[in-house]
């Protein structure tokens, strides 16, 4: 391994993750060189590439850190958000757990009137707090990674509310269902689902075929799965059938 790649390896493993910008500054190399190094290192099993950077090979089966998730597949997430917004009507109450796709979706709500948004995500509070047509209720709790409330307080507060609809995202999705890498976040989603009249999963197609450690609830408990386009997995298309939404209604 070259000295530059050794330095990259050490930095990624020390931090658990690193952006391309961080690596450029650390080893004084161009973006093209960093990308080439990361590709070679991934082929050797040294690191795991994600959008905008890399994570340690020890974390290859984990979600990328929040700062990378927030900048990955942005166009797909924006399209999903736009499609999902057609399922919203004025006067609705909406559960929104944390998630980069869900945060993009929250930005589409500002044109609606008399919405009540109940959320466990501080970023969503920031997005919606200055819009007079939206009442924002923060569930509070233990702050995780700076953008997610979890824990007993969050859970207890969820039971105080019922919602017309919940929108949520996931780590991976297969014909067998959706999966997550974080048990605490999944518990929040499951609890919101029980208190919602309808449930909508927002999942870009990069998540298709990925299966993580924690199983979500069955597709039978989901009303719609919104994707930016039809996935290549024909089995998933068949399983979801009319639940799959890839264009505005």
pLDDT given for residue 210 in this prediction = 85
Domain limits, CATH 1.10.10.10, in the chain:
3-60
In angstroms, the Cα distances linking 134 to 90, 101, 108, 114 are 10, 19, 12, 6
Q: CATH number for 3-60: choose from 1.10.10.10, 3.10.20.30, 1.50.40.10, 3.40.50.300.
A: 1.10.10.10
Instruction: Write down how long the chain is.
Output: 249
Whether the CA torsion 51, 55, 58, 63 is positive or negative: it is negative
pLDDT given for residue 136 in this prediction = 97
pLDDT given for residue 68 in this prediction = 53
Domain limits, CATH 3.40.50.1360, in the chain:
74-245
CATH architecture for the domain at 74-245: 3-Layer(aba) Sandwich (3.40)
- The SS3 assignment for 134 reads strand
Mean pLDDT by 10 residues, the chain (249 residues): 83 84 90 89 81 71 54 83 97 96 95 96 93 94 81 94 97 93 89 98 93 90 97 95 91
**Other Cβ atoms closer than 10 A to 25:** 10
pLDDT given for residue 87 in this prediction = 97
Q: What is the pTM of this model?
A: 0.75
CA nearest 167: which of 229, 245, 61, 52?
A: 245
């Amino acid at each position: 391994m070259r000295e530059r790649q050794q330095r990259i390896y050490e930095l990624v493993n020390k931090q658990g993750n690193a952006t391309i910008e961080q690596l450029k500054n650390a080893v004084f190399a161009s973006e093209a060189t960093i990308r080439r190094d990361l590709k070679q290192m991934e082929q050797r099993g040294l690191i795991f590439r994600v959008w905008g950077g890399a994570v340690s090979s020890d974390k290859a089966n984990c979600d990328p850190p929040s700062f990378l998730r927030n900048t990955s597949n942005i166009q797909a997430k924006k399209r999903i958000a736009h499609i999902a917004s057609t399922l919203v009507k004025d006067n609705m109450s909406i559960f929104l757990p944390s998630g980069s796709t869900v945060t993009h979706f929250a930005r589409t709500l500002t044109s609606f009137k008399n919405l009540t948004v109940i959320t466990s995500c501080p970023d969503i509070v920031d997005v919606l707090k200055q819009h007079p047509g939206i009442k924002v209720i923060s569930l509070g709790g233990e702050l995780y990674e700076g953008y997610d409330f979890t824990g007993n307080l969050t859970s207890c507060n969820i039971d105080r509310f019922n919602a017309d609809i919940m929108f949520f995202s996931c780590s991976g999705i297969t014909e067998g269902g959706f999966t997550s890498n974080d048990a605490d976040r999944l518990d929040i989603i499951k609890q919101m689902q029980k208190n919602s009249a309808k449930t909508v999963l927002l999942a870009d197609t990069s998540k298709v075929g990925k299966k993580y450690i924690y199983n979500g609830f069955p597709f039978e408990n989901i009303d719609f799965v919104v994707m930016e386009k039809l996935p290549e997995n024909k089995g998933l298309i068949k399983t979801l059938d009319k639940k799959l939404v890839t264009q505005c209604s």
